[in-house]
Amino acid sequence: MTVVVFTFVLMLASVLKEVLGLLVNRQASGIMVLQAIGLLIPYVMVFALPMGMLTAALLVFGRLSADNELTAVRASGLSLLSLVSPVLLLSLALSVLAAIINLEIAPRCRVVYKEMLYQVGMAKGASFIPEKTYIKDFPGVIVYVSEVHGTNLEDVLIYEMRRNRVEGYCRADEGSIQFDVTNRVITVVLYNATRVFFMEGHRLPQTQTAGTVEFPYTNVMVKAEKKRVDLDNMTFMQLRQELRSLEQGLQSVTPLNKMPVEQLRQRMKQLTTQRKDLATPIRVRMHRQVAFSFACVGFTLVGIPLGIRAHRRETTFGIAMALLLVILYYSFFILGLAFETRPHLAPHLILWLPNFIFQAVGAVLLWRANRGL
């Protein structure tokens, strides 16, 4: 139940931000929304599994301790370690499941989800051209449209920019936006347009009037599509292949066998530094995927003795303590990602610290609880 609750809460952020907005604007159907939710579940499940396991351990063992059930267990000759061993095996099984999701399933679902949002944006021009808004996503221009009716535009104003200065503007009462899906091009077409030019901040006296004026933009499509998968959305094997390709590419930059000895040493030192700088973000994400898979074990080891020591029946207390521990755990991952451009700090090793700390502290607390201390 805790996994379902946390999955629902974490899903709200993504669904409300991206998917439901498309549904309200009639840019996506109900079936597409359900598909998006299904693709987001594996991505969210990686976070929900350890959080749910921690909360469940705090609630269950806190209630057992408050109702003196653990005293009855000890009086029956059963040790605490024997009692919690099935729970620990369950946490280990959930860690294996989290590893499968985190290393392979979640990244692939995330890529498909992003591609689906892109296809929705391609099919609906209004997603790129909102009304009464200065749009700066197009390269070299600022676009303003008073009203949007599907792909038809009314009262269009386009400022042509260069080095953050206005070089001219084009205005038309009507226009349209056209999508070339094959060539990945967006074209804004203006009808009966008037064009005005500026030079050194002063408006030129002559103006141009044309039947149609076209503004094709390829970069917007590339930006929306993101043909190259981001590092955050790569599977573990894709990250590993990316790291190998990077290292092989750096090694074959220069024919080192033709260099003098001193120059060869300098070149090797430069290649080593460059390899560390470029490979560190990849290693950080590889270690994050693997380290994060062990969160269920660490959370369970900490949650069982803390639940026993808390000796509380209230559900709110267990949830509040779980949230504090989750914030502490994830702070190490945030710190490791923040240091991904500083290889000398070994950020990929920082990601393993919460696992070692939680498992060590949990093992000590569980041993003390088993001894009755």
247 falls within a domain: no
Please tell me the number of Cα atoms within 13 Å of 80 on its side-chain side: 20
How many Cβ atoms from other residues are within 10 Å of residue 204's Cβ? 10
Question: What percentage of the chain exceeds 90 in pLDDT?
Answer: 17
207 falls within a domain: yes
User: Any idea what the Cα angle at residue 217 is, between residues 213 and 222, rounded to 5°?
Assistant: 165
Residues 203 and 313 reside in one and the same domain:
no
251 falls within a domain: no
List the domain range (segments joined by +) for residue 209: 129-224
236 falls within a domain: no
Residues 112 and 145 reside in one and the same domain:
no
Helix (H) or strand (E) holding 141, with range, is strand 141-149
Residues 19 and 118 reside in one and the same domain:
yes
User: What is the separation, in whole angstroms, between the first and last Cα of the chain?
Assistant: 32
359 falls within a domain: yes
User: Any idea what the Cα angle at residue 116 is, between residues 111 and 119, rounded to 5°?
Assistant: 125
59-98 per-position pLDDT tens digit: 899 888 888 888 888 888 888 888 999 999 999 999 999 9
Region 46-70 average pLDDT: 89
- Render 159-208 in DSSP notation, one character per residue: EEEETTEEEEEEEEEEEEEEEETTTTEEEEEEEEEEEEEEETTEEEEEEE
Residues 203 and 93 reside in one and the same domain:
no
Residue 227 has a pLDDT of: 45
Domain end (from 202, 224, 246): 224
- Residues 329, 17: Cα–Cα separation, whole Å: 26
Residues 8 and 119 reside in one and the same domain:
yes
Into how many domains does the chain fold? 2
Residue 275 has pLDDT above 80, yes or no: no
Residue 336 has a pLDDT of: 86
The answer to whether the CB of 178 falls within 8 A of the CB of 129 is no
Enter the tokens of residue 242: 């990316």
Total residue length of the chain: 373
If DSSP codes are grouped into helix, strand and coil, which group holds residue 155? strand
The answer to whether the CB of 101 falls within 8 A of the CB of 47 is no
Residues 288 and 359 reside in one and the same domain:
yes
Residues 104 and 25 reside in one and the same domain:
yes
254 falls within a domain: no
Residue 87 has a pLDDT of: 94
151-210 per-position pLDDT tens digit: 788 888 888 877 777 788 888 888 887 777 666 677 788 888 888 887 766 677 666 676
- Render 309-369 in DSSP notation, one character per residue: HH----HHHHHHHHHHHHHHHHHHHHHHHHTTT-GGG-HHHHTTHHHHHHHHHHHHHHHHH
- Residues 358, 303: Cα–Cα separation, whole Å: 10
Residue 285 has pLDDT above 80, yes or no: yes
364 falls within a domain: yes
Residue 352 has a pLDDT of: 93
Residues 33 and 111 reside in one and the same domain:
yes
258 falls within a domain: no
**Where residue 222 falls among pLDDT bands split at 50, 70, 90?**
very low
- Residues 146, 161: Cα–Cα separation, whole Å: 20
Residues 12 and 71 reside in one and the same domain:
yes
Domain end (from 224, 249, 268): 224
**Where residue 361 falls among pLDDT bands split at 50, 70, 90?**
very high
Residue 135 has a pLDDT of: 76
Residue 27 has pLDDT above 70, yes or no: no
Residues 172 and 219 reside in one and the same domain:
yes
The answer to whether the CB of 250 falls within 8 A of the CB of 271 is yes
Domain end (from 157, 190, 224): 224
What is the rounded average pLDDT for all residues in the chain?
78
User: What is the phi-psi region of residue 206: left when phi exceeds 0, alpha when psi lies from -120 to 50, beta otherwise?
Assistant: beta
